[in-house]
């Protein structure tokens, strides 16, 4: 697997009032490690590790084979790997998660699947 390491710089135009937002589109492929200060939105394919200081959104067409860490994480695509949500993990109706999760709060919508162990801990920033 090719290794890629990236730390994103703050974008000049942002969606959430000044925080950095990094988006991977539906045709984007990331192999390696991505660690950002800000929010992350994924619609493509990822293999490796993802870590965001802000929120992580995984769209319905995304396929992730990675450990994922973020403040609030929303999964509507396919994730294979361990997930750490410092605040809340939301599995949308189309979400499929195979892996262990560590969460402050957990929301599972009708139709979502979760295969793995769940550890709940107090929320932290």
- The single-letter DSSP state of residue 56 is E
For residue 99, give the DSSP letter: S
Q: What is the mean pLDDT of the chain?
A: 87
State the pLDDT at residue 1.
39
pLDDT digits (tens, 9 = 90+) for 1-52: 344 444 444 433 344 455 789 999 999 999 999 999 999 999 999 999 999 9
Question: For the whole model, what pTM was predicted?
Answer: 0.83
Supply the pLDDT for residue 91: 97
Q: What is the mean pLDDT of residues 98-109?
A: 96
């Amino acid at each position: 697997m090719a290794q890629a390491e990236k730390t994103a710089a703050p974008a000049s135009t942002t969606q959430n009032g000044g925080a950095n937002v990094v988006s991977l589109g539906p045709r984007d492929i990331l192999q390696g490690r991505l660690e950002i200060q800000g929010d992350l939105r994924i619609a493509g394919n990822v293999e490796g590790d993802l870590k965001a200081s802000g929120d992580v959104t995984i769209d319905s067409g995304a396929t992730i084979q990675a450990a994922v860490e973020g403040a609030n994480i929303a999964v509507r695509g396919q994730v294979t790997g361990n997930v750490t949500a410092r605040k809340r993990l939301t599995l949308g109706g189309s979400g499929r998660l195979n892996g262990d999760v560590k969460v402050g709060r957990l929301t599972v919508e009708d139709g979502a699947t979760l295969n793995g162990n769940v550890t709940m801990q107090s929320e932290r920033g």
